[in-house]
Amino acid sequence: MNIETRLEELGITLPQPAAPVASYVPVVVAGGFAHVSGQLPFVDGTLVTGRLGEDVSTEEGMAAARACGLMILAQVKAALGSLERVERVVKLGAFVNSAADFTDQPKVANGASDLMVEVFGDKGRHARAAVGVPALPLGAAVEVDAILAVSAA
């Protein structure tokens, strides 16, 4: 399956890769893996902020996690030159800005997880952590990082 064709079929246009907000690089490729730094949810150029269980609904959180997933794909494409080099999505880590009594972090993380399966099929099935946190950079509602197995250039 050609990933660019698949993105077109799904009606997905990847965003411009976001610049780092601190002292790190977006992607490090080493030992056959692409390690993607945590990506924040930008929708139409605007950061999705707020806390799940307070002022952000679970559905809005899922959409924010999907936006993080799109940014992961954009960063990987920029680093590798092509998403065709992705052999497998190995693991996603989802961090959800959560009220103390919010417990649907796994449901929120599905926004990113489901995107990976939509785009890569079975190669998109992955291990995952979904963690509630009291705050995220810039007040973001969600942050997602990733590890992907990649082929040599």
pLDDT in tens, 96-147: 999 999 999 999 999 999 999 999 999 999 999 999 999 999 999 999 999 9
Across 33-44, average pLDDT:
96
Q: Enter the pTM of the model.
A: 0.97
User: Which amino acid makes up residue 3?
Assistant: I
pLDDT tens readout for residues 72-87: 999 999 999 999 999 9
CATH superfamily of 38-150: RutC-like (3.30.1330.40)
Q: Which two tokens stand for residue 93?
A: 């880590």
Distances (CA, A) of 151 to 70, 84, 114, 148: 20, 9, 23, 10
Q: Of the candidates 122, 22, 39, 136, which has an alpha carbon nearest to the alpha carbon of residue 78?
A: 39
Q: Which two tokens stand for residue 134?
A: 């009291």
